[in-house]
Structure formats: structure tokens, C-alpha cells
Structure 1
């Protein structure tokens, strides 16, 4: 299993926090639907594409009218989107499935959720997000927790799990958010998760070029 991204989704209000560093922007909880999808839906789609197309496009637009951006992957990337596009913010996510060995194994959706949260909560020390170099926001809060619906997939050869090609199911959970109302121009997003079981940390830091409509 790879960490990038169990219990019921928490019933929280669709609150947003103004992010004022470097331009307009609102950080919004992932339970809110944007262009027909929740942050959980976006998380599941991001992992589905990573599992089925490990060398696919790192800048993917989803939603009913394509107004949601998935910036997939850990490496540096620049994505260009029109004004009005929401960015799926990755803090840290993990998934469990029905083909790997423990501790990543879960027979069904409920077990996979429990498995994913068990890994995340036992290993994650902090999850911080900053926008255009401004003050960081702590994403490791209940309001930023969400799980994706279980997804079925046909794993291709040379998949990131290192298992033979086969059908599989997986469920992802994590601390994520939406970033909306980006002003036209160049924006640098940066999240960093640290862990209590080693010196490695997970960094997600895409550059978003927003074009004026």
C-alpha cells in the first residue's frame, strides 16, 4: 500500500477558512460537494487513477463540468486551470485493499476503512498546509477527515502494489480539503505530513496557474 491518503463520515458543517496569503482563496471542508463531487469522491478517483494509470496525467479535471482539479503525485508539477476551478488539497491519505497482506488487508469496505484509519492515526504526527507561503493550517482535525466510497479496480501489470494483475477493491481515507476561489495568477500549494515511525515525510507541493475567464 502507498501513502499519498474506517468509520462513519463525521457530520460537520461545510465551513470554510479564508486563506489570505498571496491572493484570494478559501479552504473548505471535504464533505462539501463541489461540481457534484465530495472530497471523498475526489480521493477515491485520485487513487483509482494512480493504481490503474501509474504514469498518467498528473493534472486531472473531474466533476460534472470539469471544475475540480486533482494534482496527483508527489513530484513537482504545474497545473493550469481556468478561474473558478476548485483544487483537491491532499494532506495525507492511505488506502487498504483486499489483495495485499496485513497490515494493508481489508476484506470489505468497513474493514478497509478501519484499516486505513488505524494506519494513519498510529503513524501520522502532523499534517500542515500552506498557500503561497502563508501561515500554515492544521489539517489533522476531525473536520478534514473523510473516506472515499469503496472502489473496484482491475490492477494492471507493474502496478504500484507490486502484486500480479488481478481484480481488487480498495477504500481510501485521509485528511484533505478543498481550496476554492483562487485568483488568476500563479499559486504555490504546500502540504507536509510527518510521521512518528521514521524521518521520512510526505510533501505535496503543486503549482497552480489560474487563467482569467
Structure 2
């Protein structure tokens, strides 16, 4: 279902923090893949009932052939892609994991997490189309996570180096974090138009014409 995938890709692109990644996929994963259980497991995060209600335990990634395949190759797999039919139950006795499929979430060349899916007994196994869709989904998740974890350049608050006022530097810092004019206004308790006018003044002072140019120039100033 290409249209479904494109809608999910856009939802992932619009999230603003890691916790929203799960919210962006809520209901969509179950419906598209026909799974009864799914979860995003990040290696540097301790799962809790609040943010990880449908999680497949991490041990399922580390102690079975499917998990080892994903860890070693950074590629998605389901049990029938790495095992003979029926062998999966020699490794996992859980009745609610009759069929499993796992995909890698990669950042900076290393595995940082997985997207895990499972079907109950009586449901069909995953197939090549499921694997292709999971692969595409993991690519977008990996790219988004890399973006969220990239630290924006810290803007110096030195009045000697920067021609901007303290208030303008506050706005510039929020711009560097990727906030919109409306979001900046909400954080600073000013109107969206006030933010817009402030940015115009800041652009003139710095001799730039775009937000990205402003952030880059202020970063250079801070290094001087």
C-alpha cells in the first residue's frame, strides 16, 4: 500500500521529539501489518508502561536468530527468512509471538534500536512484501532519529561578539532548535508577528536573508 506508506513517512517527518515517533505510528502499524503486538525498542532507553505499552521484550532481539540477523546485518528479517518453517518455536515459546519480524533503526553507523512486530497464533506468517515495507519504514525512522539527535549549534550570548540584543539571541537559539515562529512566540510569550518582525531586524543586522544563514553566521561569531 504505497499511499499508506507515504502517509506514515510524512507523519514521521513531522514529529518533533523521540517520544512522538511512537505516537506517529500508533494504530497505523497494527492496521497495515496485521499485527497484534508491536514496539519500538531503543537501546539507550529503559522501556516503561507509560511510553512502551505494546513493546516486545528486548530479550527477543538478543536471544534468537531473527535478532542476531538484524544485529549483524542491520537489515530487517522475519523468522521464515532465517529459519526453516516451524523452527521458530524452538527459540520462542510465547503463544503471542507465533510470527515475528524485526527491523533495524540505525544512527551514525550503529544499531540504536529496532522496530518489532509479532502476530498471534492462527495468523499468516510475514512475507516479502511485509519485509519490504518494514525496510522502508526503518529507513525513515533511522533518518528522523538521526535528525532529532543531531545537536544544533549553540549560539553564544556574547554581547561583544554579536550585534543582536539578548532577546534577539533568545529567538535565534529557538530558531536553531527548529521551532516555528508560532512556537517561538508561545515560548517567549510574544505574538507570532513580533517574532516575524524581530527576525527581519536580525537578518538586516547580520546581513543574511534566511534562517539557516542566520544560525550559521551566529555560530561562526561564537567561535571567534
Q: TM-score range by the shorter chain?
A: under 0.3
Using structure 1 for the length normalisation, give the TM-score.
0.27
Q: Which has the higher contact order (CA 8 A, sep 6+)?
A: 1
Higher strand proportion, which one?
1
Using structure 2 for the length normalisation, give the TM-score.
0.26
